Amino acid sequence: MKKYHEEHQLLRDSLRQFIEKEITPNLQQWEDQEECPKHLFKKMGELGFIGANFPEEVGGSGMDFLASEIVMAELSYANIGGFTGSYYAHTFLPLPLLNAMGTDEQKDKYLRPAIQGDMIASLAITEPGAGSDVKGISTFGEDAGDHFILNGSKIFITNANIGDFMVVVTRTGEGHKMTLLIVENHWEGVSCSPIDKKLGWHTSDTAQVFFDNVKVPKENVIGEINKGFYYLMNNIQEERLLMSVMATHTAQYAYDEAVKYVRDRKAFGSTLSKLQVMRHKIAKMATQLESCHAMTDRALLAFMDIGPKATEVITMSKVYTAETAMEIINQAIQAHGGNGYVETYGVARAWRDTRLFSIGAGSSEIMYEIISKFEID
């Protein structure tokens, strides 16, 4: 089982205080305005919530992966899926690539400020014509000697409207030949257009991004040219594992709300919690929730033990928790009756926000594609 040490506990405590003070009181307002509370990045950077699991050399705290798990768990439990997604798309998508393969200059210029919350970052893979099929991307970087000329467009890019730089997955050859380029959002030829009306993740920022002859100096290539696809695949395990953490802890939130609700809600001369059907509903939800924790922890321990080689169990955990969390939250809504349909009760938001997890970071169908390769081929 997971073993938390004192430093983990301290991290959790300080984050909980932060959430209680800075997030929870304003959450409903941000949700209503469908606005990403961008200013939180700075505060979270200062308090070490972005850098917890990054090395001290780049401004992090050098904690182990449990630190990342804790931060994602606590934010998810706060039921602010959108901002949690923005934080996640910053901290765990582009930054680990920079950390793993970036040059010292790149780290100084981009990673360090991003860890401090002074810069906000995105990872731009998806295109209007290529989502699951990453090899289908067509955003092209033409080699022009000391720089690339970048053309194309990206879609669904979290943090791009509010961000400072993005790591752009760029075709630089046929097939798997892709290169990761650091592109600053204010550069000439870069433009963003917000995707406003989303089903959930209302407090995240999502953009369509256009590159029109953008000049990207070669010092902004991460790692080697044409190797981007492989860097991406390596990093994606961490991303999927943390999505499993998100799904599980949002479900935990909804579950806890449901238990509280049925204990209090009067009906038929008693409370809902005395009705056997409601009791079994809760018991089944609790069992499913436990299975989400069991899968996530199993994947987590495997990842901490053997790293990205834990691919299969992480993939399983990702698809399993994404689907199961929805079932739990759906029943949490049901237990609330009409109030489950009112946004101020929180479970509706949890449901909308969690729906993304079967689509993003590799859809459920893509997860099964991967698992079937492990199992059959």
Residues 320-349 as x/- pattern, contact with ligand FAD by CB under 6 A: --------------xx-xxx-x--------
- Residues 140-169 touching a copy of itself, rule: CB under 8 A, are 155-156
- Residues 115-144 touching ligand FAD, rule: CB under 6 A, are 122-126, 131-133
| Nearest residue to 363 via CA among 328, 327, 323, 311 | 323
249 sits near a copy of itself (criterion: CB under 8 A): no
* Options 31, 69, 238, 239, the catalytic residue: 239
How many whole angstroms separate alpha carbon 336 and alpha carbon 320?
Answer: 25
Stretch touching a copy of itself by CB under 8 A, among 16-24, 56-64, 176-184, 361-369: 361-369
In three-state form (DSSP H/G/I as H, E/B as E, the rest C), the secondary structure along 242-287 is HHHHHHHHHHHHHHHHHHHHHHHCEECCEEHHHCHHHHHHHHHHHH
- Residues 262-321 touching ligand FAD, rule: CB under 6 A, are 265, 267-268, 272, 275, 277-278
Tell me the residue ranges of DSSP E strands in 28-177.
121-124, 140-143, 147-158, 165-171
Among 25, 129, 173, 307, binds a copy of itself (CB under 8 A): 129
What residue 320 binds from ligand FAD, a copy of itself, none (CB within 5 to 8 A, per partner kind)? Answer: a copy of itself
300 sits near a copy of itself (criterion: CB under 8 A): no
* Cβ proximity of 64 and 303 under 8 Å: no
Residues 324-343 as x/- pattern, contact with a copy of itself by CB under 8 A: ---------xx--xx-xxxx
Looking at beta carbons, which pairs linking 185-190 to residues 24 or more positions away fall under 8 Å? 185/160, 187/214, 187/215, 188/214, 188/215, 189/150, 189/213, 189/214, 189/215, 190/214
At 189, list the tokens: 């030829």
What residue 158 binds from a copy of itself, ligand FAD, none (CB within 5 to 8 A, per partner kind)? Answer: ligand FAD
Instruction: Find all residues with CB under 8 Å of 189, minimum gap 6, and list them.
Output: 150, 211, 212, 213, 214, 215
How many whole angstroms separate alpha carbon 69 and alpha carbon 66?
Answer: 5
239 flagged as catalytic = yes
What residue 186 binds from ligand FAD, a copy of itself, none (CB within 5 to 8 A, per partner kind)? Answer: none
198 sits near ligand FAD (criterion: CB under 6 A): yes
How many whole angstroms separate alpha carbon 317 and alpha carbon 240?
Answer: 8
Indicate the residue type of 250. Answer: T
Of 131 and 228, CB closest to ligand FAD: 131
- Residues 204-263 touching ligand FAD, rule: CB under 6 A, are 206
Of 206 and 317, CB closest to ligand FAD: 206
Q: Which spans of this chain sit near ligand FAD (rule: CB under 6 A)?
A: 89, 122-126, 131-133, 156-158, 198, 201, 206, 265, 267-268, 272, 275, 277-278, 334-335, 337-339, 341, 356, 359-360, 363, 365-366, 369
